[in-house]
Amino acid sequence: MPGGKEKMNWGIIGLGNIAKRFATSLIKNEDAYLYAVASYTEEKRDYFKKTYAPEVVYNDYESLLNDYKVEAVYIALPHAMHKEYIIKALEKKIAVLCEKPATMNAEDLIEIKKIAKENKTFFMEAIKTRFCPLIDDIKHAINEEKIIGDITTISANFNSDVGEVVEGRYYIDPTQGGALYDVGIYPVNFVIDMLGNEIVEIKSTMKSFKNYQTDDYFSAKLTFESGVVACVEGAMDRNEPKVAIIQGTKGKIVVPVYYRPESYHVELNDGISYTVEKTLEIDDMQGEIQEVQNCFDQLKMESERLTIDESIKMIQITDQIRKKAKWIEA
């Protein structure tokens, strides 16, 4: 291996923008080696070869998965293609890190869990927020230190504006995109990570892209067994600051850019306020990459920080948000 040190051989299939960010992070990790990439698009292959210098470049996904030197694969394909290539990789005994959403429904992810266990091979959904160092600090502050008292409400949004709708883009394809399944995982993950996943009631609304059969906006009110109410929201039709607010009986915590946080602000009812900061060492993908490698080295089939069951619960909640939604006019 390069540098005389044994590194983990990674492959990447699907070479879009998110894969560029992943590759940039991967090559900065001293324990990782970008061994192979694959795309059916020559322009993308050439870009990755020139920019990231992988050892091998394939013009189809199967060739990469058939390369016995690939130990882990990052799947960054369109959403509806995830399941097929997750299963193909697992059956080749290749550890899998798949971009979110790993599947478009809970049933498919339950099937993947079964296949991962049968093949005794690691699988994890790429929910990078779980592995940002400040997340554990926030959880400790609210659960152990209880600096804001008992939590009463929590809110999180991921509202962006994609601009003019472009034909052929994934976000207007009901089998691929929409605000809920594309960006909804961020707020849903955050509130579940903070509160647990025992939800007793879901109320939601959705709005569709004009003339298309998928959503460009959703909002949902999730009532937890504890009585805490969480409000989550995601959009592709409006730009707003992406922020999470945890309200408690003694004050609140405000987390800007909560899906890759580097700071949070505490405002207490007695007038005390302060900010806690923790800069990401490399970027927001570093943690999930290191988690895969640590689990692989320890022969773990899944991450304790983000189990497959946890991913299943999140997609089940997402499915219920859509199922229970009241659709509003565009």
Chain Cα centroid distance, residue 312 = 13
Which tokens belong to 54? 């992988």
pLDDT of residue 10: 98
**117 inside domain:** yes
Which tokens belong to 143? 């659960």
Same domain, 122 and 86: yes
Same domain, 199 and 155: yes
- Give the mean pLDDT of 314-327: 94
In DSSP terms, 120 is beta-bridged to none
Same domain, 147 and 258: yes
**112 inside domain:** yes
**310 inside domain:** no
Query: Is there a contact between 73 and 95 (Cβ–Cβ < 8 Å)?
Result: yes
Residues found in the chain: 330
pLDDT of residue 330: 63
Number of separate domains in the chain: 2
Strands 215-224 and 199-208: antiparallel
Place of tokens 């020559």: 42
Query: Is there a contact between 124 and 310 (Cβ–Cβ < 8 Å)?
Result: no
pLDDT of residue 214: 86
Same domain, 276 and 289: no
For residue 29, CA distances in Å to 6, 219, 289, 297 come to 13, 37, 8, 15
Residue type, 168: G
Comparing 175 with 327, which gets the higher pLDDT? Answer: 327
pLDDT at 17 over 80: yes
pLDDT of residue 1: 37
Q: What are the E-state strand segments in the chain?
A: 8-13, 32-38, 56-58, 72-75, 95-99, 123-126, 151-159, 199-208, 215-224, 229-235, 243-248, 251-256, 263-268, 273-277, 326-328
Strands 251-256 and 243-248: antiparallel
Same domain, 144 and 124: no
Rounded to a whole number of angstroms, the CA Rg of the chain reads 20
Same domain, 8 and 108: yes
Residue 108 sits in a domain of what CATH number? 3.40.50.720
Same domain, 99 and 149: no
Residue-number span of the structural domain to which 189 is assigned: 130-281+315-328
pLDDT at 221 over 70: yes
pLDDT at 81 over 50: yes
d(CA 235, CA 213): 15
Place of tokens 């849903």: 188
**63 inside domain:** yes
- Coil/strand/helix, residue 237: strand
Ranges 4-8, 290-294, 323-327: which has the least confidence: 4-8
**39 inside domain:** yes
In DSSP terms, 123 is beta-bridged to 96
Same domain, 161 and 207: yes
Residue 269 sits in a domain of what CATH number? 3.30.360.10
d(CA 254, CA 264): 6
pLDDT of residue 308: 98
pLDDT of residue 319: 95
**72 inside domain:** yes
Same domain, 239 and 276: yes
d(CA 234, CA 289): 26
Shortest CA distance to 10 belongs to which of 115, 89, 103, 125? 89
Strands 199-208 and 326-328: parallel
Same domain, 292 and 220: no
pLDDT at 5 over 80: no
Which tokens belong to 264? 């949070």
pLDDT at 3 over 50: no
Percent of the chain past pLDDT 70, that is, above it, reads 98
Same domain, 137 and 245: yes
Mean pLDDT, the chain, whole residue set: 94
Same domain, 98 and 19: yes
The confidence band for 56, taking pLDDT boundaries of 50, 70 and 90, is: very high
Residue type, 307: T
pLDDT of residue 4: 39
Residues 6+ apart with CB under 8 A from 159: 233, 234, 235, 238, 239, 240, 242
**309 inside domain:** no
d(CA 158, CA 282): 23
Shortest CA distance to 88 belongs to which of 100, 70, 105, 106? 70
